[in-house]
Structure formats: C-alpha cells, structure tokens
Amino acid sequence: MTSPDRTVTARPTILICDDHPVVRCGIRTLLAEERYDVVGEAADLAGTVEQVDRHRPTVLLLDLSFLGTISLGILPTVRAVSPGTRVLMLTMHNDLDSARQSLAAGAHGFLPKDAAAEELVAAVDALAAGGRYLDPALGAALLDRPDDPDGALSRREREVLGLIADGLTHHQIADELGLSVRTIEAQRASIKVKLGVSRRAELISYARRLRLTTTGGER
C-alpha cells in the first residue's frame, strides 16, 4: 500500500534579542501561541551574533539599544553569518530618525515596544514572508512631510518613484535607468518601507506631492 503524500511545512523560526528578561518572556509567550518556533534568546550583542550563527532564524527580533549601546552595528555581521535572516528592530525610540537609521543599516522592519500584540504579530508575519514592516504612525509622519527635508529617499529611489508614477513597468524602468529588474524591485520595496505605504496609488500620490513625475517638473 502506498501512503498518501504529506507536505510538511517548516514553521518560521524566531530569535529574540533584548536585555530585559520580562520583554523576552512576553514576546516568546505571544509568538509561541502563533505559528512560530522561538529557537533562542540573547541578552547582549555578542550572544545575539552567536545565536544567529547557531540557529539561522527566519526573523531576528533585535532591541535597538542594549544597555545604552545602539545595536545597528552588528547588522553587517548578522547578514554575513545568516544572509536569509530578516531583522525587526524593537525600540522605545519611536522617531523618524531612529527608523531611518535602522532601515539604512539593513533592518527590514521597525516597531515600537509599546505596539499592540497584534501589530507585533503582523510585523513578524510580514518579515517571515520576505516583506518589510514599518510602524504605521511613522509611515503617516513621513507622508505628512511632503518636502522630504531629511532625504528619506535616495536620489535613485526618487528616480524610480517618478517612473513608477509615470506608469512604467519594472522592466521599462530597468531599461530606462540601465539597471536590473531585481534592483528595481528592491528599490520599490525600499521606497514603500521608507514612505510607509503599500499600494501603488499611494506611491503615485507621494510622487506627485514631491513633483517627481514627468509633469511635475523635477525629472
């Protein structure tokens, strides 16, 4: 007799790195109730790198500040030892500068520690699926600053955003800028994270506010 085929799907793995035991315990309890395997914890930066190397987690939940030390400096090492790990920064510093610094350093998501439990789950879901996540309040704050005074978008990202607003496809934008389609897709993903938007209509609206479209005059 032939047994029926069964597909076994591995549960996404989570590593929690925070210097407060109560915070780690709370997150572990919450995510254990979801479809995640919490494979480890770390209370300092050295332990974080060691645990990442050992477990190669799907998602790393990383406190932005360990005993007063900003943790962004370990992100290159995390990428080197586990390129597939997605990093969600958790922080009490819920401000635009901290968010931008985290994203620029290579984090894939940014969330304040006082976020609701369901928002943390949504953020982990997004990163586990290969996406990104930015606290909605910060996304709204970015949209409220149409002049982009702090340069949320790089020059290349502004070019890509303008071409998206002009209706070009990823392939057409790649041809226009002499880049690969994969690079354009990555640029678009980065733009959506930095602006805190998810829909094409929102990207177009932001491009028009910044006058990045052909009719807007900047390009």
All structural domains of the chain: 13-141 (3.40.50.2300), 146-209 (1.10.10.10)
pLDDT digits (tens, 9 = 90+) for 39-87: 999 999 999 999 999 999 999 999 998 877 889 899 999 999 999 999 9
pLDDT digits (tens, 9 = 90+) for 141-164: 655 554 444 456 778 888 999 999
Residue 36 phi/psi, 5-degree rounding, is -125, 150
Structure-block tokens of residue 26: 């709370």
Please give the full DSSP string across 1-70, using - where no structure is assigned: -PPPP-PPPPPPEEEEE-S-HHHHHHHHHHHHTTT-EEEEEESSHHHHHHHHHHH--SEEEEESEETTEE
Per DSSP, the three-state class of 88 is strand
